[in-house]
Amino acid sequence: MIWVAVILAVSLLLWGDDLLKQAAESGQTISYMVLAGACLYALTAPLWAYIMQGKSLAQVGVIYAAMTLIGLYALGWFRYGEVPTNWQLVSLALAVGAVITSEM
Domain ranges, residue 52: 2-102
The stretch 5-20 carries a mean pLDDT of: 95
Cβ–Cβ under 8 Å, residues 17 and 37: yes
Question: How many whole angstroms separate alpha carbon 30 and alpha carbon 98?
Answer: 36
What global pTM score does this model have? 0.85
Question: How many whole angstroms separate alpha carbon 15 and alpha carbon 82?
Answer: 17
- Percent of the chain, pLDDT > 90? 79
Q: Please count the structural domains in the chain.
A: 1
The stretch 36-58 carries a mean pLDDT of: 93
For residue 6, the one-letter residue type is: V
The stretch 41-64 carries a mean pLDDT of: 91
Angle between helices 57-80 and 2-25 (to 10 degrees): 40
Q: What is the pLDDT of residue 46?
A: 95
For residue 72, the one-letter residue type is: L
Beta strands in 1-104 (DSSP E): none
